């Protein structure tokens, strides 16, 4: 006796699935390549220090040659420029006068450091030409020294590890949020799960990023705290949206944090390089705030952005927890079939 034939999938459904996957993949490629293609070196915060006549001449020359590359400001002294770099208000400075120098921070941005190093070479050529004209003869080439005020650690000398460190945190949070949403039943149980997961996993990931690979610097426990809050912020958002909206809450949260927020996080380049205000907007999302926070904790303990990034992550975490509680209370009075396991559905008893 032959077994019954399984029903075939309608061709219409196959076409719809293929089209939906094509659209999804296209949006994915667009999301992660758009920022790289459209970004440009612009509005780099750089200070100029020195006699007013020299400052004006250099500022004019940079504006004419670099266009919108630099956002120039004037500070009173080299010490002020160093302090502004250490607080991440500046990404470099040009010191003029009797001892010209270019200050950079590879920890702040290796890309900007390379740009300013090129500027140092151009200033050296101009100084050589001026000295030769004044002397009426060719003089030895003048070299403008470049000082790295806040350098990258030798264990991550190119900054590649620090640039991509925030991406695993997004995956950690998404994975935890999805699994605890789908597997664990109960509001308190889900919240307990994501808090426990965020704390335990942060010690492991922090140990890898700092102890094993040397990507993160500074206080290990503080870095672990940052990783834990970032992971909790993502996981709580996913769990909260799922609790409030049901199954459709998971893709809404994942798309928002992975495909919208992550590409504009400015983890791999300065936020000024992104088109329009997207770099600044990205700092209000978990990926951008966590990337900035880890960089600040590792290299810029005096950064003015520390309080802001901690606050952003805390708001996302508390917001996700609040959504979870609200959604849990709502479901006590409104049964949502797509979220409650069949074994837990109320059974109607005949009268």
- Tens-place pLDDT, residues 113-127: 999 999 999 998 988
Residues 141 and 277 in one domain: no
Q: What was the pLDDT predicted at 351?
A: 44
Q: What was the pLDDT predicted at 342?
A: 45
Last residue of a domain, one of 83, 116, 151: 151
Give pLDDT tens digits for 335-344. 544 444 444 4
Residues 200 and 263 in one domain: yes
Residue 38, in any domain of the structure: no
Give pLDDT tens digits for 218-246. 999 999 999 999 999 999 999 999 999 99
Residue 21 reports pLDDT greater than 90? no
Residues 212 and 247 in one domain: yes
Distance CA 205, CA 182 (A): 24
For 167, the domain range is: 160-340
Q: What was the pLDDT predicted at 254?
A: 93
Give pLDDT tens digits for 158-212. 999 998 888 888 999 999 999 999 999 999 999 999 999 999 999 999 999 999 9
Residue 350 reports pLDDT greater than 60? no
Residue 305 reports pLDDT greater than 70? yes
Residues 167 and 134 in one domain: no
Residue 27, in any domain of the structure: no
Which residues 6+ apart lie within 8 Å of 173 measured at CB?
Answer: 198, 230, 231, 232, 233, 234, 235, 237, 238, 257, 286
Residue 73 reports pLDDT greater than 70? yes
Higher pLDDT, residue 20 or 343 = 20
Distance CA 333, CA 130 (A): 82
- Report the candidate in 160, 197, 158 with the shortest Cα–Cα distance to residue 175: 197
Residues 199 and 330 in one domain: yes
Residues 191 and 309 in one domain: yes
Residue 345, in any domain of the structure: no
Give pLDDT tens digits for 269-297. 999 999 889 999 999 999 999 999 999 99
Residue 132 reports pLDDT greater than 50? yes
pTM over 0.75: yes
Residues 146 and 166 in one domain: no
CA distances from 332 to 186, 310, 327, 335, 348 (A): 10, 33, 9, 7, 17
Distance CA 107, CA 152 (A): 5
Give pLDDT tens digits for 78-115. 999 999 999 999 999 999 988 899 999 999 999 999 99
Residues 214 and 140 in one domain: no
Residue 12, in any domain of the structure: no
Average pLDDT of every residue of the chain: 89
Q: Is 311 exposed, middle or buried (0-12, 13-18, 19+ CB in 10 A)?
A: exposed
Residues 89 and 144 in one domain: yes
Q: What was the pLDDT predicted at 5?
A: 67
Residues 80 and 170 in one domain: no
Which residues 6+ apart lie within 8 Å of 147 measured at CB?
Answer: 101, 102, 103, 104
């Amino acid at each position: 006796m032959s077994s019954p034939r399984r029903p075939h999938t309608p061709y219409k459904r196959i076409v719809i699935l293929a089209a939906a996957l094509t659209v999804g993949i296209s949006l994915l490629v667009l999301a992660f390549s758009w920022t790289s293609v459209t970004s440009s070196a612009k509005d780099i915060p750089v200070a100029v220090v020195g006699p007013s006549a020299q400052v004006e001449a250099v500022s004019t020359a940079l504006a004419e040659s670099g266009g919108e590359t630099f956002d120039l400001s004037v500070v009173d002294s080299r010490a002020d420029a160093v302090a502004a770099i250490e607080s991440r208000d500046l990404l470099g400075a040009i010191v003029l006068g009797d001892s010209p120098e270019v200050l950079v921070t590879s920890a702040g941005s290796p890309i900007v450091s390379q740009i300013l190093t090129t500027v140092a070479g151009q200033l050296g050529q101009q100084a050589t030409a001026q000295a030769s004209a004044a002397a009426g003869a060719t003089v030895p080439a003048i070299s403008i020294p470049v000082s790295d005020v806040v350098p990258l650690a030798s264990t991550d000398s190119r900054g590649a590890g620090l640039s991509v460190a925030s991406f695993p945190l997004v995956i950690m949070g998404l994975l935890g949020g999805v699994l605890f949403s789908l597997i664990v039943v109960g509001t308190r149980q889900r919240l307990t799960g994501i808090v426990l997961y965020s704390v335990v996993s942060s010690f492991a990931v922090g140990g890898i990023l700092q102890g094993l690979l040397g990507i993160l610097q500074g206080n290990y426990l503080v870095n672990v705290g940052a990783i834990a809050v970032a992971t909790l912020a993502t996981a709580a958002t996913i769990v909260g949206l799922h609790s409030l909206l049901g199954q459709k809450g998971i893709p809404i949260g994942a798309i928002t944090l992975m495909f919208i927020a992550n590409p504009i996080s400015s983890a791999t380049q300065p936020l000024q390089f992104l088109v329009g205000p997207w770099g600044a907007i990205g700092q209000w999302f978990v990926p951008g705030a966590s990337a900035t926070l880890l960089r600040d904790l590792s290299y810029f303990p005096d950064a003015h952005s520390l309080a802001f990034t901690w606050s952003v992550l805390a708001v996302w975490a508390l917001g996700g927890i609040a959504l979870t509680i609200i959604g849990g209370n709502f479901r006590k009075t409104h049964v949502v079939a797509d979220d409650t396991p069949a074994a837990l559905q109320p059974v109607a008893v005949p009268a």
